[in-house]
Amino acid sequence: MSRGNRPLSPHLQVYRPQLTSVLSILFRIMGVATSVGSIVLIWWLAAAASGAEYFELVQSFLGSWFGRLLLFGWTFALVFHLCNGIRHLYWDAGKGLELETAYASGKAVIVFTVIITLGLWGLAYAVGGA
């Protein structure tokens, strides 16, 4: 599509970021990040199917500091997308769309994302040691 040099109406850059708009774009970004991270999940399963040796290799990579960082980022993205997704499903039912409720549920999403992500990792360290 050729736009030439036609003037464009002001876009995102003229708006002050707000909790609602920031969570909205993060929802998409975290969804895409979760998709990309799912490649690691499939790689992990394929490694398990291909034998002990290769599985240990993948496990030691995922257990390294870089692997743990990737997994932590993936957990965070997934949990955020899950929590905000539930918020979106509630909206899709036509509920909770008032400004005040939308801000309250937005803050709840942040709190739950942090609690669940840290809780999962705390559980993992408690079960598996360092």
Instruction: Give 96's contacts (C-beta < 8 A, 6+ positions apart).
Output: 87, 90, 102, 105
Which residue matches tokens 């774009």?
25
Q: Considering only 11-19, 96-104, 106-114, 120-128, which stretch makes contact with other proteins by CB under 8 A?
A: 120-128
Distance, CA of 104 to CA of 111 (rounded, Å): 11
CB of 69 to other proteins, least distance (A): 16
Size of the site for other proteins (CB under 8 A): 34
127 binds other proteins (CB under 8 A): yes
- Supply 83's token pair: 């929590």
Query: Running DSSP on this structure, what letter comes out for residue 14?
Result: G
Interface positions with other proteins (CB under 8 A) = 1, 28, 31-32, 34-35, 38-39, 41-42, 45-46, 48-49, 52, 55-56, 75, 78-79, 82, 85-86, 88-89, 92, 120-121, 123-125, 127-129
